[in-house]
Amino acid sequence: MASAIFTLMFLATMMLLQLMAVAQTDGSKPVGASITANDDAPSWLSSSGEFAFGFRQMENKDYYLLSIWYEKIPEKTVVWYAMGEDPTDDPAVSRGSKVELTADSGLVLTDPEGNRIWSSGGFLGTVSSGVMNDTGNFVLQDRNSDRLWESFTHPTDTLLPTQIVEAAGIVSSRRTETNFSLGRFQLRFLDDGNLVLNAMNFPTKFAYDEYYTSGTSDDSNSSNSGYRLIFNESGYMYILRRNGQRSYLTEGTVPTDFYHRATLNFDGVFTQYFYPKASSGNRSWSSVWSKPDNICVDMRSGLGSGVCGYNSICDLKADKRPECNCPKGFSLLDQNDKYGSCIPDFELGCRSDGLNSTEDQYDFTELTNVDWPTSDYERYRPYEEDECRKSCLNDCLCSVAIFRDGCWKKKLPLSNGRVDIGMNGKAFLKFRKGSVPLDRPPLPLPGDNKKPDTKLITGSVVLGTSVFVNFVLVGAFCLTSSFIYRKKTEKTPEGGSCLETNLRYFSYKELAEATNDFKDELGRGGFGVVYKGTIQAGSTKVVAVKKLDRVVQDGEKAFKTEVQVIGQTHHKNLARLLGFCDEGQNRLLVYEFLSNGTLANFLFGSFRPSWKQRTQIAFGIARGLLYLHEECGTQIIHCDIKPQNILLDDYYNARISDFGLAKLLAMDQSKTQTAMRGTKGYISPEWFRNKPITVKVDVYSFGVILLEIICCRKSVDLEIGEAENPLLTDWAYDCYVNGTLDVLIGDDTEAMNDMSTLERLLKVGIWCIQEEPSLRPTMRKVTQMLEGVIEVPAAPNPCPYSTFSNYYQ
């Protein structure tokens, strides 16, 4: 009997403990619960423990931010925070502040003296409890579990999966990375169905012109306009239209088993990030996609300073985030705000005593492809470069002259400064001679042709110190120079060349060992054989090593040029070059290894890939080609775009490979005559007619690949016989004209259910394969048409005058 009672007591105790454990971890807190800001402040966790609500300590340890963050990430990334009554004030609160859950006002934040700073408020009903959900949403609910208020409907700078933004919804950036007060940028979902990004001013919060728009409004058909922004639980973000169609913002395939967030960064770039939940691998936030593609160039509002402050220059970094620099002769107005305005270190203006701007007083810093496009007050055309320089130099109002399609004179303050490689012009920035102190050299800028006089700076330091210190400095300088010289000599292999690049140099012996004596062959291409290997770069890294053969005869100088250009290209849709080998006749390139192989294997295998994956791959290829043609420092025509040269990374994002190995063009060249290159089925007509080769040859090849992506069949398939339409380009156009798209895609129900996208992609493909190169769109226009930003007109017959089908027979 006693044993039975003991057993029952034990079971009852265990059940009670389980109930207590559930009560402690369901994320729910009753009215009256509170947290006080101090070093030992607890937080309210969600049931999974992934999100926390409470006070996050700031860099100044005496201040705290009432916020929600990722608890299981070491960085404790903040995804929501309480803004004060005046959002332009820093929302950080002092030690001893308190947040309490109340029945009538919900969450109430007070300072140490008990004064109310912020409350959730603004709801009808009585709060019974607050719940920190596993989605990152903090919810206030009544006794019937009805929602009265939730953080998801009051976003700050971040959106999370399962979060929805309705019409008129706004997401605002923070002021800086560490200052959580209201910033200058907004993501707004307009009533007309468009999602836009814009800057605004203080204190009126007047919105400037958009620098990004989703293009999801439809004036002619309101039932087709967007009405809701959805970030679904799988990590895809899209605009839901009123007719049920979806316009995706997310690019590529979203990785699973990762944390996701979409943040409007303080510099105006809206980015979706992912972070691995597993403890292994790269433990940092990585970008899935971002808008806009180049905020420095896309920011075109005539009002405001632009991305950076006045008189500053915006340059895009590899991660698509802007970097701001003051030009020569200018310095930051606030030394603690590197994104702020710059002020001249000299007086520039018109004086009543007649001592105005002259050639004896001022000089220019010459910058390539730099502009402040909204600060013009004069334009001279036609005008020569020397005339432009002199006109500004002798004009006391002129602070900078831009020579591009004439002469543009600009005055202070300069706004919307940016580096724009598509500008094809020069900026002559005026500064007073002798105004820049030697101990504060200007920040280096792209295109700056005047380098600091290192010898003069070094001399001034040496002459201004004691004899003993001078002796030590001179000795250290000699030893350092000798060491650097020896290091450079050691790193140059016998018979090799010293290439000035940030790529890693490999010896032939290293790569032979890395590839197990070149035994694991991955594939063969027009430029050589590719082998799989492993290298040590902090950790063991799998790589693809391409052994070049055809470029050897072009000589050492050509190889150097090719490797330098390839090494300077950085885009998420290009295969990344990690290093190279240049030893005598042995020339090899080392690329990142992309685990999912080629697009050819992906498209033409046993199973048809999903329509969603295929369309995202097509968009990625287009963006990569756009970068090669218009956005990288040296224009690159690929000349051999085909599915075998499109690789897929871990998340099935398209990566173009073998770029830069066919032909490089300087920015001032647009045409070249060359021997035929490319692969049967993807070669444009101009190759056969000895016509000038331009970027339009890549557009043609892309068009063929786009049709292959739509149909999942090869462009030339002689195995199926002539009667079965072996030439895809002809067959695709016939199906388009006859309206038999169902025949073209077979039993692909997923594509048939997305008929508007299918028709759009098919028309873009046919435009790209036009026989006349001038009719083919640029890759910029192709990208815009694919994404639905601009309308795609009806496609004409691609071969109205002749046919070159016999080449493929």
- Binding-site sequence positions for ATP: 547
* Residue in 415, 160, 440 with CA at minimum distance from that of residue 306: 415
**Catalytic residue of the set 363, 640, 698, 754:** 640
Angle, helix 755-768 to helix 611-626, in steps of 10 degrees: 40
241 phi, psi to nearest 5 deg: -85, 165
Amino acid at 726: P
Binding-site positions: 547
348 CB-side CA count, 13 A: 26
Q: Where are the alpha helices (DSSP H) in 437-466?
A: 454-463
Residues 6+ apart with CB under 8 A from 575: 591, 592, 594, 647, 655, 656, 657, 659
Strand ordering across the sheet containing 147-150: 28-30, 129-132, 138-141, 147-150
Percent helix, percent strand, percent coil in the chain, to nearest 5: 25, 25, 45
What is each CA distance from 18 to 21, 95, 152, 379, in whole angstroms? 5, 36, 31, 78
Torsional sign, CA 709, 711, 713, 716? negative
At position 760, the amino acid (one-letter code) is: R
What would the two tokens of residue 146 be? 């009805």
| Residue count of the chain | 809
Helix and strand numbers (H, E) in the chain are 15, 46
Report the SS3 class of residue 667: coil
DSSP string, 97-110: -EEEEETTTEEEEE
> Left if phi > 0, otherwise alpha if psi is -120 to 50, otherwise beta: which for 155?
beta
In this structure, are strands 376-380 and 407-410 parallel, antiparallel, or unpaired? antiparallel
Cα distance between residue 648 and residue 219, in whole Å = 38
Who contacts 42 (Cβ-Cβ below 8 Å, separation ≥6)? 35, 54
User: Which residues share a beta bridge with 230?
Assistant: 164, 238
Q: Where are the alpha helices (DSSP H) in 241-294?
A: none
Q: Containing H/E element for 529?
A: strand 528-536
Structure tokens at 305: 């300073």
Q: Is 386 a catalytic residue?
A: no
Alpha-carbon dihedral sign for residues 621, 625, 630, 634: positive
Cα separation, 241 vs 398, whole angstroms: 49
CA distance linking residue 82 with residue 181, whole number of Å: 10
Distance set, CA 200 to CA 197, 206, 285, 305, 310 (Å): 10, 5, 28, 10, 15
Beta strands in 646-737 (DSSP E): 646-648, 654-656, 663-664
Residue 436, φ and ψ in degrees, nearest 5: -95, 115
CA distances from 696 to 268, 333, 637, 763 (A): 34, 47, 9, 17
Number of other CB atoms surrounding residue 510 within 10 Å:
17
Q: Which of 670, 639, 649, 615 is nearest to 786 (CA)?
A: 615
Alpha helices in 53-111 (DSSP H): none
296 in the Ramachandran plot: left (φ > 0), alpha (ψ -120 to 50) or beta?
alpha
Distance CA 252, CA 568 (A): 24
Q: What are the catalytic residues?
A: 640
